[in-house]
Amino acid sequence: MFCGIVAGGVPSFRVTDEADGVAFLDTRPVFKGHVLVVPRTHLVTLADLPPESLAGYFGLVRRVALAVETGLDAGGSFVAMNNKVSQSVPHLHTHVVPRTKGDGLRGFFWPRTRYADDDEARSYAGRVAAALPSAPGRV
């Protein structure tokens, strides 16, 4: 499924599409604005990510986390990755979830919600994309 999103064959609400990865809204977000970041290449777990790709991929994750906080006026973010156990899609992906004080998220219980419609999802993706800092060395 994520390979289809990266290739553009599966619809998604993209935040960014870059050489180091693609970021898009989770369709079953913990909180609205929950973004998934995936590498362009199909990899299953973090152990499969080549060492030379670490800086680029996690640089993108970092920038998305900053954009989620800024673009959504969130108090912070929760950044997480499952490897094998609890990994619902066998494609390396990092969750970036907007957080606010008192939002009710405790431990690793992840309640899920839905967007009211595609327009609401596009609005959240657009707000995060607009706040995305440029990658170092890129304009």
Give me the chain's average pLDDT, please.
91
Q: Which of 34, 91, 93, 95 is catalytic?
A: 93
Nearest to 124 by CA among 95, 98, 103: 98
Sheet containing strand 21-25, strands side by side: 14-18, 21-25, 35-38, 94-99, 76-80
Domains and CATH numbers, the chain: 2-105 (3.30.428.10)
Cβ atoms 16, 65 nearer than 8 A: no
Q: What is the pTM of this model?
A: 0.85
Using CA atoms of 32, 15, 64, 9 in order, give the dihedral in degrees to the nearest 10. 100
Which band of pLDDT confidence, cut at 50, 70 and 90, is reported for residue 139? very low
- Percentage of the chain lying above the pLDDT 70 cut: 94
Q: What string of H, E and C letters represents the secondary structure of the chain?
A: CHHHHHHCCCCCCEEEEECCEEEEECCCCCCCCCEEEECCCCCCCHHHCCHHHHHHHHHHHHHHHHHHHHHCCCCEEEEECCCCCCCCCCCCCEEEEEECCCCCCCCCCCCCCCCCCHHHHHHHHHHHHHHCCCCCCCC
pLDDT single digits (tens) 8-64: 999 999 999 999 999 999 999 999 999 999 999 999 999 999 999 999 999 999 999
The answer to whether residue 42 is catalytic is: no
